Structure 1
Amino acid sequence: MDIIYSGIPEYETVNITKLTPGSVVVEHDVILKAKFIPDYKEFINKIAKKVEEKIKNATQEQILNNDTCTTLLCFNMTATKVQNISVTYDPEEECRKKAGKDFAEHFFVEYKDERPKCITRCMPGFKASLNCNFGTCRLERSGPRCYCLTTDTEWYSGETCEFSTKKSLVYGLLGAVGAVVLVGLVILLVFVLRSKREVKRQKSKVNQLYQWHEEDGGPAPGTFQNAGFNISEEQEDSMHLDSVYSNFQPSLGHIDSKTQVKIQRPQVMMSSL
């Protein structure tokens, strides 16, 4: 076997796994060893084709050298095949195992100088590195996250700390808003005080009017007086009813008590105001 595969630079050895009794069928593993390169999967496929070519060429030579073979133990080229190609090294899987169960999904392999590097996005200097601008990257269970810095003059914000806000501008805006609110409160306070003062002044006027009215003999506040008819009010051309009744003596001797007096039925007249 070593003679057949000796022309392959990556050939290491052969491991015979099965011999079929009474025949020349030999199942074996061809062990190859090579340096790691980023395109290792494609490289392994090429080597596997070389192995297949080698074993088939060796079988073909045996057939040509024994073309008069009539026994059952002759080489059969169609029975020679390569199968079950396997790779014992997987950088992605090894990287995730080193990271641990909690953070395995956030670790991956990136090639640098043709060598695999097990990294996360928080590691600088790679194509997949997360740029946090004005912040620091930390790996959490939920994934990489940027924590923004705060300086004496600025605040930084955003998913990757890409936005900056000057503290002086914020303080100025807050001061302006505070001044506007203060002026508004002062105006409101002045309006309330003036309203209360006006209400108090009107109330004082009403109380004074009531007091003057009571002193002049008018009705108490809340009562009604018919100014058009007041028998108690004395006028210059009025006469006392007592003097009239004292001199008045009616005489009913000449009145016919059987005389009927007809009074016209009163009618209600409606007028619009």
Structure 2
Amino acid sequence: MASGDTSTAPTDTTTASGETSTAPATSTQTTTPKPSISAPAPAAPASLPADGDSARCRLPERLSPGGRGWVRVFSVWGQHCACVLGAGFGDPPHTQGSLPVDCLNGGTYDGKKCICKSEFNGPQCEFAEDVIPTNVSTFQAEVEVQVKVTNKNFSEELNNKSSPVYMEFEEQFKKQMDTVYKRMTGYKGIVILSLRQGSIVVDHTVIIEAPLSNNLDATLESVTKQVVKQLEDINTTTGNCTGTFCLTAPPNPVKNATTNFSAADICKQIVPQDLAQYYYPHITEKGTLCCLTRCSQDLPDFLNCNYGQCQLTSSGPQCTCANKDVFWYPGDRCQTRVSKVGVGMAVPLVVLFIAGIILVTFLGRARRRRPLAWLRGQTAKLC
């Protein structure tokens, strides 16, 4: 169509009676109707997804505060969906400019949340667990004792642990002592410490795997009594040389009872190294070792956070008070809380109360001054 031609398109007009009439066009030539809006229409994107693909057009602007929600933005062009700000079609949200969470203490981000190591917790793995369990339920006790082999004579070759004579004696002695101690719960074997003259005097250590308890000294004492009982039995039952060796035990056969077990050392090995100073060993009722912080109520001096929760941070156990958007906490252990709503309502009431007192005081003074002024006026008239 030639430019410059003017025409009026037919329009539908509704009369007052409801009838519709069509006004005739003033020209036989027609043009494309002008847009009804004054603002220019935006340019269409170069490529658009097919109808029904609007769900594939998404823009993850940012993670929600919890790190689990997405914000999706759509720009509609007719019946199509146009992705705005450079968002692609059909890509997973975490590949389109998402903000990954900074996971601490060795945690890893899986696209939705932080996967923490077993000893940490929190949205960013920022808190250490207040209870770290172990599978330790026993400890090794060592009881040093002495027995005498009465049917053998000591020889210089027994001083040399590499000699065939010594190795043969060691093998036979261990076999026979296994039969002596085998009835003891947790018996693991013996270690020969020394051999010396007097027939053959054998100093050896009996190794026992004893159950863990909060009182290791009491457990050691109990284990020692069991060893003594077994040695007393050889004086009455096996003293007739029923084995390779004829054995006797002195009246006080135990020389020492010790253990190298340290619950504190075990905890230092398994807890986070930079927080090891805040963990303490604890034996449960089932006899298992746990490593606890003062956030655990199993410790006598645990940190009571009242209206909050105890969390272990790099600076030690601290109280994190709950609902800080609603309450004020003047103390560091969340023991007292003040409602912000209550304070917000109380402040205007206090202001009104003070204003009322000031107003009453002012009015009272004004009333006292009025009679005095009237009396002065009457006195002036008389004069």
Instruction: State TM-score, norm by structure 2.
Output: 0.39
Q: Aligned residue for 2:282?
A: 109
Cα 1:176–1:162 shift into 2, 3 Å: same
Deviation at 1:185, TM superposition (A): 0.6
1:192 to 358, 365, 368: 365
Question: Match of 1:53, as an amino acid?
Answer: K
The answer to whether residue 221 in structure 2 is matched with residue 49 in structure 1 is no
Contact 2:267 2:279 in 1 (8 A): no
Q: Distance in 2 between matches of 1:208 and 1:21?
A: 141
Q: Aligned residue for 1:28?
A: 204
Deviation at 1:144, TM superposition (A): 5.5
Cα 1:149–1:75 shift into 2, 3 Å: closer
The C-alpha deviation readout for 1:116-174, integer Å capped at 9, x for no partner, is: 11112314xx645656354132569xx96634234333446788647665433333333
Contact 2:328 2:338 in 1 (8 A): yes
Higher relative contact order (CA 8 A, sep 6+): 2
Cα 1:48–1:119 shift into 2, 3 Å: same
Contact 2:192 2:202 in 1 (8 A): no
The C-alpha deviation readout for 1:202-222, integer Å capped at 9, x for no partner, is: 44554555xx3xxxxxxxxxx
The answer to whether residue 258 in structure 2 is matched with residue 86 in structure 1 is yes
Q: Aligned residue for 1:267?
A: none
Contact 1:5 1:11 in 2 (8 A): no
The answer to whether residue 187 in structure 2 is matched with residue 10 in structure 1 is yes
Contact 1:36 1:115 in 2 (8 A): no
1:151 is paired with a residue of what secondary structure?
coil
Cα 1:107–1:199 shift into 2, 3 Å: farther
Structure 1 or 2: more strand by fraction: 2
Unaligned 5+ segments in structure 2 are 1-172
Contact 2:329 2:337 in 1 (8 A): yes
Q: Aligned residue for 2:342?
A: 169
Equivalenced residue count is 196
Kindly report which structure 2 residues correspond to 1:62-141, keeping only aligned pairs within 5 A, or say none.
Answer: 63-65=239-241, 77-92=249-264, 95=267, 107-111=280-284, 114-123=287-296, 127-128=298-299, 132=305, 134-138=307-311
Deviation at 1:183, TM superposition (A): 0.9
Question: Match of 1:171, as an amino acid?
Answer: G
What RMSD in Å do the two structures reach over aligned CA positions? 4.5
Kindly report which structure 2 residues correspond to 1:144-163, keeping only aligned pairs within 5 A, or say none.
Answer: 146-155=319-328, 161=334
Q: Aligned residue for 2:115?
A: none
Deviation at 1:21, TM superposition (A): 4.4
Contact 1:92 1:109 in 2 (8 A): no
Deviation at 1:85, TM superposition (A): 1.3
Q: Distance in 2 between matches of 1:153 and 1:45?
A: 57
Instruction: State TM-score, norm by structure 1.
Output: 0.51
1:86 is paired with a residue of what secondary structure?
strand
Structure 1 or 2: more helix by fraction: 1
